[in-house]
Amino acid sequence: MVRKLIKLLSVLASGLLLLAATPSYGPGAIPTISMYIFQPSFGNAVTTPTANVFLAVGMPVNVANGFSFGHVVVDISVDDATHNSDFGFATGTSGGTCTLVSHVGATTYASTGIQTLVVSPSPSTLPAGVTEGASRLYFVWTSAATTLQLVSNSTLNLNYAGRTSIGTTSGGSLGTPGTTTFTCPTDSWAATVNMPALAIVP
């Protein structure tokens, strides 16, 4: 147990992490795995939305078999109790069509700190093959104003898609999961900052 904890901490220190609980195998059985995807933060930078703009940032992880999740954890550094904001996840191919997989929904945030938010639909499912093949995973967000700020990394992270504006929104909503589509950012590997600190959890 101590060895596993040390290994986990060392991976967390290096950047993006995909953690799977130890699966239980049996003859002919399909393993059940609880998964967590982290985008750790290093330093105290903040990410501010651009009003009514659909923003995306790549999450370079390997989801070979797909998995379901019900929550996203974010760290809000500046709250906004007046204007709606929305966070979510989308998948697609580089320069191709991306589809909104899930989102929190347009709402206001009247307090700061780490918050665990329920996604819709719940549970949501990331399809198999994300980042392993051509498919990509993106964290997407928008706001009706520029007030809300998320804690982000202040050091360089290697990513296939840094913070990118990919369209416009209305009312602080990302749209409807499974229906809303947009053009994915084109892969352009670079060391970038201002990637929000977040976790995808069951």
Domain limits for position 96: 2-21+35-201
Question: What amino acid occupies position 14?
Answer: S
CA distance 177 to 124: 9
CA distance 191 to 178: 31
Give pLDDT, residue 102. 95
Domain membership flag for residue 7: yes
The H or E element that residue 9 is part of is: helix 2-14
CA distance 67 to 4: 22
Domain membership flag for residue 44: yes
Domain membership flag for residue 128: yes
Domain membership flag for residue 74: yes
The pTM (predicted TM-score) of the whole model is: 0.78
pLDDT for 170-193, tens place per residue? 999 999 999 999 999 888 887 776
Q: What percent of the chain has pLDDT over 70?
A: 68
SS3 56: strand
CA distance 31 to 69: 16
Domain membership flag for residue 27: no
CA distance 36 to 72: 10
CATH number, residue 77: 2.60.120
Closest-CA residue to 143 (of 79, 47, 46, 53) = 53
Domain membership flag for residue 28: no
Number of domains in the chain: 1
Domain membership flag for residue 106: yes
pLDDT for 82-116, tens place per residue? 999 999 999 988 899 999 999 999 999 999 999 99
Domain membership flag for residue 91: yes
